[in-house]
Amino acid sequence: MTTAILARGLVRDFKTVRALDHVDLEVPAGIVFGFLGPNGAGKTTLIRVLLGLVTPNAGETRVFGVDPTRDGAAVRARTGALLEHHGLYERLTAEQNLAFHARAWRIPRPEAVARIAELLRGLGLWERRGERVGTWSRGMKQKLAVARAVLHRPPLVFLDEPTAGLDPVASATLRDDIERLARDEGVTVFLTTHNLQEAERLCASVGVIRRGTLLAVGSPADLRAQRSTSVVRVQARSWPPEVRAALGTHPAVRAVADDAGTLRLTLHHPDATPELVRWLVGHGLDLEAVTPERASFEQAFLDLVRDADGARAP
Ligand SMILES: Nc1ncnc2c1ncn2[C@@H]1O[C@H](COP(=O)(O)OP(=O)(O)O)[C@@H](O)[C@H]1O
Ligand SMILES: [Mg+2]
């Protein structure tokens, strides 16, 4: 198994902010890796370090074995990137934009023509290739920016919030495009997104970062399984108000929500259910059903980030 990205003890400070705090990460080649975390967590900084655009204060990184702090140009030749700015020329047509970048990459012309046609067709932009990009919607520009990032067939591409600011239809389309590109071109994708459903759908593995600290790495299913809370739905013949109130302060219970007579209980521990059932029966409740709710990836993510918030509190 080839390692696409390696980081060991990576630290990057900006004045008083520690943007990356001893990050250890290994991303195998050939997968879509999702890098998730709240705004300001350090996601873009890590990408910039890996591209050799920002120098770390401590630690080591390798991209396909190359050290980006020593040979950033070699790393950038082997990678594609869609960063916060899409990097397109608004006054050029779609085709001219890609042709410009193909020249910059010194791709021989016949090959460039074929590659550009292949990408524009694959992304459904072929009919629009002669239009100036400045007139396009953000969704179409983002598609073209993805095409630009993979134009020179890099084995690794960084996509920093590619679907940010897109309407649901445009982001679903772009997500499908990314999925198809990753599959057809065998490219390793390092993706950041705030859309957790998108991450779960696209990514074989995800990392969760908060305030420069990597909190977890694993498949979305792993993270769901490791979540620190669980939710059970409890149906009873009736809910005496005093039992309902006592539940709110029960040590195993984090939150209580009423869903049309069924209580939805968030528990601090996944294994607290039997204890809670005993407690409810002990309080004379006629239980009709106790059903665990399948943990959502979003809930697992929120638990992770909130637990880290809690750990930081004095
Ligand atoms: N060039 C910079 N100068 C000063 N602070 C920066 C700079 N770049 C990033 N930061 C800070 O580093 C932290 C991480 O930022 P960033 O990597 O952009 O987060 P994310 O991409 O996860 O939103 C933030 O607190 C941000 O303000
Ligand atoms: Mg960012």
Q: What is the mean pLDDT of residues 128-155?
A: 96
Q: 163 alpha carbon to ligand 2 midpoint, in Å?
A: 12
Q: What is the DSSP letter of 66?
A: B
Nearest CA among 120, 118, 160 for reference residue 140: 120
Query: Is there an atom of ligand 1 within 6 Å of 225 CB?
Result: no
Ligand nearest to the CA of residue 42, numbered in listed order: 1
* Whether 67 contacts 50, CB under 8 Å: no
Query: Is there an atom of ligand 1 within 6 Å of 55 CB?
Result: no
Q: What is the mean pLDDT of residues 133-149?
A: 95
Q: Does the pLDDT value for residue 287 go beyond 90?
A: yes
Report d(CA 72, CA 98) in Å as an integer.
23
Q: 196 alpha carbon to ligand 2 midpoint, in Å?
A: 15
Strand order in the sheet with 79-82: 79-82, 156-160, 188-192, 32-36, 205-210, 213-218
Q: What is the mean pLDDT of residues 20-33?
A: 97
Average pLDDT over all residues of the chain = 93
Rank 7-11, 178-182, 295-299 by mean pLDDT and report only the highest: 7-11
For residue 2 the two structure tokens come to 């080839």
Q: What is the mean pLDDT of residues 179-187?
A: 91
Q: 193 alpha carbon to ligand 2 midpoint, in Å?
A: 9
Q: Does domain 3-223 have CATH number 3.40.190.10?
A: no
Q: 191 alpha carbon to ligand 1 midpoint, in Å?
A: 17
Give the number of the atom of ligand 1 that is nearest the alpha carbon of residue 39.
Answer: 23
The residue type of 221 is A
Nearest CA among 123, 297, 122 for reference residue 201: 297
| Pick from 88-92, 93-97, 264-268: least confident | 264-268
Q: Does the pLDDT value for residue 313 go beyond 50?
A: no
Query: Is there an atom of ligand 1 within 6 Å of 249 CB?
Result: no
Q: Which of 23, 43, 45 to mutate to test the pocket of ligand 1 (most atoms within 8 A of CB)?
A: 45
Q: What is the mean pLDDT of residues 220-231?
A: 84
Binned at pLDDT 50, 70 and 90, residue 303 comes out as confident
Q: Does the pLDDT value for residue 312 go beyond 80?
A: no
Q: Does the pLDDT value for residue 310 go beyond 80?
A: no
Closest-CA residue, ligand 1 atom 25, reads 40
**Where does 228-294 sit in CATH, by number?**
3.30.70
Query: Is there an atom of ligand 1 within 6 Å of 39 CB?
Result: yes
Q: What is the b/e burial string over 142-153, where b = at least 16 CB atoms within 10 angstroms of the residue's CB?
A: bbbbbbbbbbbe
pLDDT at 110: 96
Q: 74 alpha carbon to ligand 1 midpoint, in Å?
A: 25
Closest-CA residue, ligand 1 atom 7, reads 14
pLDDT at 59: 98
Helix (H, G, I), strand (E, B) or coil at 56: coil
For residue 10 the two structure tokens come to 């990576």
Q: 40 alpha carbon to ligand 1 midpoint, in Å?
A: 5
**CA contacts within 13 A on the Cβ side of 249:** 4
Query: Is there an atom of ligand 1 within 6 Å of 44 CB?
Result: yes
The pTM of this model reads: 0.87
Residue whose structure tokens are 């990050």:
23
Nearest CA among 69, 88, 68 for reference residue 78: 68
pLDDT at 271: 83
Query: Is there an atom of ligand 1 within 6 Å of 45 CB?
Result: yes
Q: What is the mean pLDDT of residues 91-111?
A: 97
Torsion region of 211: left, alpha or beta (phi above 0 gives left; psi -120 to 50 gives alpha): left
Q: 160 alpha carbon to ligand 2 midpoint, in Å?
A: 7
Report d(CA 140, CA 123) in Å as an integer.
9
**CATH 3.40.50.300 intervals, the chain:** 3-223
User: Please, what is the Cα angle at 167 between 166 and 169, to 5 degrees?
Assistant: 115
Binned at pLDDT 50, 70 and 90, residue 311 comes out as low
Q: Does the pLDDT value for residue 314 go beyond 50?
A: no
Binned at pLDDT 50, 70 and 90, residue 84 comes out as confident
Sequence-distant (≥ 6) Cβ neighbours of residue 123 within 8 angstroms: 143, 144, 146, 147, 177
- Other Cβ atoms closer than 10 A to 79: 27
**CATH 3.30.70 intervals, the chain:** 228-294
Q: Does the pLDDT value for residue 288 go beyond 50?
A: yes
